[in-house]
Amino acid sequence: MKLRILGASGAEFPGKNPPGFLLDDSVLLDAGTIGAVLNEKEQYAIRHILLTHAHLDHIRSIPSLADNIILKNKDHSVLVQGIEPVLAALKDNLLNDVVWPDFTRIPSEEDAVLRLAPIAVGKPFAVNSYSVTAYTVNHSVPAVGFVVEDSEGRRLLYTGDTGPTDDIWKATEKPIHAAIIEVSMPDSMEEMAIMTGHLTARLLGAEIKKMKNVPEKIYITHPKPQYIDTIMDEIAGLGLDHVMLLEGGEVLEI
Ligand SMILES: [Zn+2]
Ligand SMILES: [Zn+2]
């Protein structure tokens, strides 16, 4: 699996884009960043979007992608998948013909640019040649993380946004080759992190203890850039091997 990091930041600053992870050029995990880094041809290659939750920093690039598509090709469509409350939030609050046109009905309901398809937690579903399973995580809104397994058995885990959680770690009963885990705040903000459904380095350490098999590689996403040095020092203090900070622009081979 080739994973291109479009953005992996917990806030927006120049060069720091919200989460978007592009798998083998065509499957996007979260849609916080698309057009800020992908050219037109690359945007057209996206055929699937998997959403962890409906917070704006994870969905905000979908409207612009739809607009770019309709301008050139009315026959093109992208399948957007997420749990029911996430799709409902997307449709009610973003693609609602007020904030943005409802691209789930443009150019027509049958041939819409965006097709929304609900997924069930814990039930594997196929996306291209991958098998994907959603697991509940603990955030301030309904949210899941994903485990993506390719045809060779390579497995990628992505938490999305989460505070201390349990369900998704069931997936570590089998080996995980790469895990993208959020750490948003420094240890000094633990109370706020727990209240808002995020992790700190110390909380990450506690989550790792819950795992049956520690992933081969752990990549950190969603840090607040204002605290990045402190967060990375605190993660280094955990003394774990193979933990790295993700940066937009990187390409990982998993
Ligand atoms: Zn969130
Ligand atoms: Zn977020």
CA of 253 from ligand 1 middle (Å) equals 26
Q: Where are the extended beta strands (E) located within the chain?
A: 2-7, 20-23, 27-29, 48-50, 78-82, 114-118, 125-127, 130-136, 144-149, 155-158, 178-182, 217-221, 243-245, 251-253
Of 188, 217, 214, the closest CA to residue 201 belongs to 188
CA of 75 from ligand 2 middle (Å) equals 32
pLDDT tens, 87-134?
A: 999 999 999 999 999 999 999 999 999 999 999 999 999 999 999 999
pTM of the predicted protein model: 0.97
Q: How far is CA 179 from CA 23, 217, 254, in A?
A: 14, 6, 10
- C-beta of residue 104 within 8 angstroms of C-beta of residue 115: yes
**Residue ranges with CB less than 5 Å from ion ligand 1:** 55, 161
Amino acid, res. 4:
R
CA of 123 from ligand 2 middle (Å) equals 24
CA of 71 from ligand 1 middle (Å) equals 30
Domain ranges of the chain: 2-253
CATH number of 2-253: 3.60.15.10
pLDDT tens, 176-217?
A: 999 999 999 999 999 999 999 999 999 999 999 999 999 999
CA of 46 from ligand 1 middle (Å) equals 23
Tokens of 148: 């993506």
User: Positive or negative, the Cα torsion across 135, 144, 79, 89?
Assistant: positive
